[in-house]
Amino acid sequence: MTAARKKAATKTAVARPSAKAPATRKVAAKKRAAGKPAAGKPAAKKVAAGKPVAKKPVAGKPAAKKPVAKKRPATKPTVKKRVASEAPGKSRAKAKPAARASVARGATSSIGTLMTYALWLELDAVERYRELADAMEMHNNRDVSELFRKMSTIEGKHVDKIMKQMGWTKVPPLPQGAAPWPGFESPETAAHDDVHYLMQPYHALALALKGEERAHRFFESLARAATTPAVRRAATEMAEEEREHVELVRAWMAKVPRPDDDWNDDPDPPRYTD
């Protein structure tokens, strides 16, 4: 090779860049791009494995707190005492024998205490018969309404007799403490649940008979519990009077026709609306 050709080859080699240079520059550019975030966009932070990403609360809105459940104190179920008039067909509540004996002794502590209870027993009967008479009149049951009013008048005469016998000009208050009769109402008081709007005079007399029988047993128990002869005699006399009332009501019932078996059938029963 001549000197002129060697010189030309050297110039050509200097003028031509290496073929590998562009490829090397591209790789270097990719590395720089991987290491630097794009312009105007913040670099995404890597999340550590296994740790949930905490959400930032929205500006101006506080993060909602989960309500904490409060434990309610354990409470015993409340048992409502049932009144005799609230339970259809149920017998009257009875006190324990020991409690009844103690109350009966208190009722027979004096003549005045005994007769006060006797007076209130009759007063309760007067008021209840008036209530039943009004109820029967509202249902257009005239016969039974008039019968209940007669019973109220009869019991009122018993009230007047006791007031006159004791020389009282006004009704004395009931003594403090529990009443000496079993149940929540006095013995001669008829229960509301024993009344039917289609009842007949026979049924009304049957209610009165039950009341007189309860009153008779009540005064007999007071006579047995009395510790003084005077109170025992007074209680015995009251029991005898109630026995006479029992016989009078039975005689009255004998004059009244017995109702038929279908006495409570009503082809057009009353409809109650709010």
CATH number at residue 249: 1.20.1260.10
148 is in which domain, residue-wise?
A: 93-254
pLDDT at 271: 72
Q: Which residues of 32-67 are buried (b: 16+ CB within 10 A; e: fewer)?
A: eeeeeeeeeeeeeeeeeeeeeeeeeeeeeeeeeeee
pLDDT at 78: 33
| DSSP conformation class of 54 | P
pLDDT at 81: 34
Number of domains in the chain: 1
Is residue 65, in this structure, part of any structural domain at all? no
CA 171, CA 254: separation in Å to the nearest integer?
Answer: 36
pLDDT at 79: 32
CB proximity list for 212: less than 8 A, separation 6 or greater: 188, 242, 245, 246, 249
CB atoms within 10 A of CB 245: 20
Is residue 26, in this structure, part of any structural domain at all? no
Is residue 10, in this structure, part of any structural domain at all? no
Is residue 35, in this structure, part of any structural domain at all? no
Give residue-wise pLDDT tens across range 66-98. Answer: 544 444 444 333 333 333 333 333 344 444 555
Is residue 244, in this structure, part of any structural domain at all? yes
> Which residues of the chain have a pLDDT value below 50?
13-15, 17, 19-21, 27, 43, 47, 67-95
CA 84, CA 99: separation in Å to the nearest integer?
Answer: 19
